[in-house]
Amino acid sequence: MAEKGELPSTETTNLFMQNRRKIEKLKERKESNVELREKHERCEKEWRDNADSLWKAVHEQIDLKQKRLAVVKNQKTQREKLEFFKSLVPWRLVTDENSLKEFSFLRGTLLLRVDVLDDGKVVGYKLKHQPFGNFAPADIEIFTFIRGLIHARFSEQRFLEIAPYASSIPKVLHHISREAEAAETLYSNIISIMLDVDHCSLEINDGILRVEFGGTSPNLCSFLVDFHFQYDKKTEL
3-state SS of 170-204 is: HHHHHHHHHHHHHHHHHHHHHHHHHHCCCCEEEEE
| Residue 225 · residue 211 · CB < 8 Å | yes
Q: Is the pTM of this model over 0.75?
A: no
Domain residue extents for the chain:
13-88, 93-228
Cα(94)–Cα(75) distance, integer angstroms = 35
Cα(226)–Cα(212) distance, integer angstroms = 9
User: Which residues 6+ apart lie within 8 Å of 223 measured at CB?
Assistant: 212, 213
Cα(139)–Cα(160) distance, integer angstroms = 31
Question: Mean pLDDT per 10-residue run, the chain (237 residues)?
Answer: 61 72 74 72 78 77 74 63 59 91 91 94 94 84 86 89 93 90 83 71 68 63 69 51
Nearest to 138 by CA among 87, 99, 100: 87
Q: What is the pLDDT of residue 237?
A: 45
From first CA to last CA, the distance across the chain in angstroms is: 106
Cα(116)–Cα(122) distance, integer angstroms = 4
Q: Which residues pair with 121 in a beta bridge?
A: 165
Q: Helix H segments across the chain?
A: 10-88, 137-152, 156-162, 169-195
